[in-house]
Amino acid sequence: MQLHPLRLSPGDDLRAAVVEVLRHSGHRAGFVLQGIGSLGVARIRLAGIDAPTALRGDLEILTLAGSVAPDDAHLHISVSDAQGRVVGGHVAPGCIVRTTAELLLALLPDHEFSREDDPATGFRELAIRLRQPV
């Protein structure tokens, strides 16, 4: 495992940036171990709901974790608003960094992740394979 600290800038799309960092690293598998920072927009898919909910304003990232593949990411987040209310769920595209996001990405050079349809769950789920030597 190789650890890769990462800082995202204002205006970055959190989910897209994490996937792009993995792609540029040349690795095919990773995990966001933790993340903190702020968002101006959080698009979060709540448990059991198909469409994401958009939250706007000054939001603090309390937790961020999940798996990252070159074709997608499965991230969970909890954020708090200016009144201290906390909301959490799946990170949807469109979570926009307000001031900064600081993440620790674990890169797994011996593995390859992808998201594949799973008939048992009805969702695209994580597929884990050992990476073939080049």
One digit per residue, the tens of pLDDT, for the chain of length 134 reads 999 999 999 999 999 999 999 999 999 999 999 999 999 999 999 999 999 999 999 999 999 999 999 999 999 999 999 999 999 999 999 999 999 999 999 999 999 999 999 999 998 999 999 988 76
C-alpha angle 43-47-50 in degrees, rounded to nearest 5: 65
Say whether 24 sits in a helix, a strand or coil: helix
Domain spans in the chain, listed from the N-terminal domain onward = 2-130
- Amino acid found at 113: F
pTM here is 0.92
What kind of fold does domain 2-130 have according to CATH? 60s Ribosomal Protein L30; Chain: A; (3.30.1330)
What is the reported pLDDT for 46? 97
